[in-house]
Structure 1
Amino acid sequence: MANALGVPSPDKVAYMDDVAAAAVDYKRHLLTLLELSPGLSVLDLGCGPGADLPSMADAVTTSGRIVGVDIDQQMVDAASARFHDHPHVEIHLADGHTLPFEDNTFDRARTDRALQHVADPSTVLSELLRVLKPGGLLRIGEPDWDSLVVDGDLEMNRAFNRFTCSTMVRNATIGRRLARLARAAGFEVEAVHTAAPTFHDFAQADNIFAFTRNTERAIRAGAIDRADGERWLTELRTGDFFAAPLMFLLAARKPW
């Protein structure tokens, strides 16, 4: 499948699985922040193909309830297939702007890299507040695409980030805004943590951050000169590669 600029996009389920595999450390931190225990009910908004659900399901045990929600039918189908024999794991096709759950339903809510794509993060946060029980915990992980660090040509790094933020990701700097948006929605913000996973292998990083695909898209859109873009990609592929994205992890609570 290709986007409007004619550049092929990867299989979505495989991509989400690859991202989960490459982000083990910050995901483990996010899981720890959830403070899960047996019997809790947990909402995972934007669950994708369900790569993060097993660890949560194990933590709450069969006495608890894990509910994964995604707006993409392909993701819901993949997650449902993985958990068809886990009665305490439910997968729902739903929009985070209008969640199909009663008020005060969940003890915990989590969303990881989903708010960057939604039309209105404030509305989604208000919905998460609504479905959480009083005192319930919200944990969010979101990137800041303007802060993606790539060793090498600084101007090309900046040009790539500008194109990503302006064209490829709807809410590209949502990470830095999480605390303010959560407070405005009515949450009590407990802490904001940062994480910066490091990548030393270009092929792995290219799969996650789409250096090749998005540089080509930027070239076709006139945002990057072709000679500069191709030179930069050659340097990244053949040099001593290093990149690090900045992630923000929000810990918040619904007031009692």
Structure 2
Amino acid sequence: MRWGVPSPDKVAYMADVAAAAGDYKRQLLDLLELEPGLTVLDLGCGPGEDVPAMADAVTTSGRVVGVDIDPKMVEAATSRFHDHPHVEIRLGDGLALSFEDATFDRARMDRALQHVADPATVLTELHRVLKPGGLLRIGEPDWDSLVVDGDLEMNRAFNRFVCSTMVRNATIGRQLARLAHSAGFEVQAVHTVSPVFHDFALADNIFALTRNTERAIRAGAIERADGERWLAELQQGDFLAAPLMFLLSARKPL
């Protein structure tokens, strides 16, 4: 809890995000170019929402290893895959992965790099554990680019607060190519995806519009009258919000 405003259950929230973000997740999965027999690392796997699709793609001749730093996430994911022998879930830290060099054919992260203390070190670790020629795929948002139709200044004030207070690496999406190149990767492509939300309740759950506006008010970043007016206006008439996601495709050189 921050600023005295309760947050939702993390496991349930991750499941809701996965359900709402199907299109970019399918694109990220396609970019992995999975085949039977490959070994895949899902770093920051959360409760394992994306693991089944990867496990199906590599079949039982391959292996998917999910790693997360949160014990609750690891517990939730482990309970889902106890009867899948080619899926392994581990508690671990991306800053110091407990794998030998050149272990994996593929590695992915989805909205996890935004939360780590040192993204550059995580990318260096991913480079280390990938085999030569191995593929890295990362999807990350750019919270400074969240578009909410309505009062432009309130949209900007909300984004400033989220970027400065609520998310550790709020603009990591736009930095992915540079950071991956610095870690030794060959950057193949950067794609952008911007899903559009028309339902306020769904967007409010995903982007914490109400919770973070209240946090911003209590922190003195937004005037209460302005924040409450903005939220009321968003719930009236046509609603539109669109986050900007960056999808990185990179390769460890041979």
| CA distance in 2 between partners of 1:176 and 1:183 (Å) | 13
Provide, for residues 85-112 of structure 1, a one-character-per-residue CA deviation record: whole Å limited to 9, x for no partner.
0000000000000000000000000000
| CA distance in 1 between partners of 2:237 and 2:35 (Å) | 46
Gaps of 5+ in 2: none
Report the counterpart of residue 45 of structure 2 in structure 1. Answer: 47
Report the counterpart of residue 73 of structure 1 in structure 2. Answer: 71
Among residues 224, 227, 233, which one is paired with 2:225 in the alignment? 227
Report the counterpart of residue 250 of structure 1 in structure 2. Answer: 248
2:2–2:215 contact (8 Å) kept in structure 1: no
How far the C-alpha of 1:240 sits from its partner, in A, is 0.8
Stretches (4+) displaced over 6 A: none
The TM-score, its normalising length taken from structure 2, stands at: 1.00
Report the counterpart of residue 217 of structure 1 in structure 2. Answer: 215
How far the C-alpha of 1:238 sits from its partner, in A, is 1.7
Report the counterpart of residue 16 of structure 1 in structure 2. Answer: 14
Gaps of 5+ in 1: none
Q: Which amino acid aligns with 1:163?
A: F
Q: Which amino acid aligns with 1:120?
A: D
Report the counterpart of residue 37 of structure 1 in structure 2. Answer: 35
CA-atom RMSD in angstroms: 0.4
* 2:129 pairs with 1:131: yes
Between the aligned residues of both structures, percent identity stands at: 82
Among residues 12, 22, 25, which one is paired with 2:23 in the alignment? 25
How far the C-alpha of 1:21 sits from its partner, in A, is 0.4
How far the C-alpha of 1:4 sits from its partner, in A, is 3.0
Among residues 231, 235, 238, which one is paired with 1:237 in the alignment? 235
Report the counterpart of residue 56 of structure 2 in structure 1. Answer: 58
How far the C-alpha of 1:255 sits from its partner, in A, is 0.6
The TM-score, its normalising length taken from structure 1, stands at: 0.99
Report the counterpart of residue 175 of structure 2 in structure 1. Answer: 177
How far the C-alpha of 1:169 sits from its partner, in A, is 0.2
Provide, for residues 171-215 of structure 1, a one-character-per-residue CA deviation record: whole Å limited to 9, x for no partner.
000000000000000000000000001100000000000000000
Structure 2 SS opposite 1:84 = coil
Among residues 53, 75, 93, which one is paired with 1:95 in the alignment? 93
Structure 1 SS opposite 2:157 = helix
